[in-house]
Amino acid sequence: MPRTHRAATVIALLLVAAVLPACGSPDSPATPGDAGAVPGSGGVLDGASLVDTKCTTCHTRARIDAASKDLAGWQTTINRMVTSHDAQITAEEQSAIAIYLSGR
């Protein structure tokens, strides 16, 4: 893995880790909005589940899987989907999706 890609991934993970404490305690009950959360994880978002629930409303999974981008590329793409195409994806979900897609 190139050094810049590794550094970007670490920075993104640190940002996600910094945001998670504000999302509630591990004892918080699951809500319908937790569709992308890993069960039993206290609300930690699962990028693969989010891709399946958020991204596939407009794109086929094959199209998503065929795209190959680094973390910054996925962040740019997801931000464009939110700002230009009104994709309903929170900042935390955007981070989880970008990290998942760039790491596969």
Beta bridge partners of 45: 37
C-alpha dihedral over 32, 15, 87, 102, to 10 degrees? -110
Q: Does the predicted TM-score (pTM) go above 0.85?
A: no
Number of domains in the chain: 1
- Average of per-residue pLDDT across 57-81: 97
Q: What is the pLDDT of residue 31?
A: 46
Q: What is the pLDDT of residue 15?
A: 59
Q: What is the pLDDT of residue 44?
A: 80
Task: Please state the separation of Cα 104 from the chain's center in Å.
Answer: 13
Specify if 35 maps to a domain: no
Q: Which domain holds residue 104?
A: 43-104
- CB atoms < 10 A from the CB of 40, how many? 8
Distance CA 54, CA 2 (A): 29
Residue 21 reports pLDDT greater than 70:
no
Beta bridge partners of 78: none
Specify if 90 maps to a domain: yes
- Average of per-residue pLDDT across 79-102: 97
For residue 103, is it left (φ>0), alpha (ψ between -120 and 50) or beta?
alpha
CATH of the domain at 53: 1.10.760.10
Comparison of pLDDT for 12 and 82, the residue scoring more: 82
Q: What is the pLDDT of residue 94?
A: 98
Beta bridge partners of 37: 45
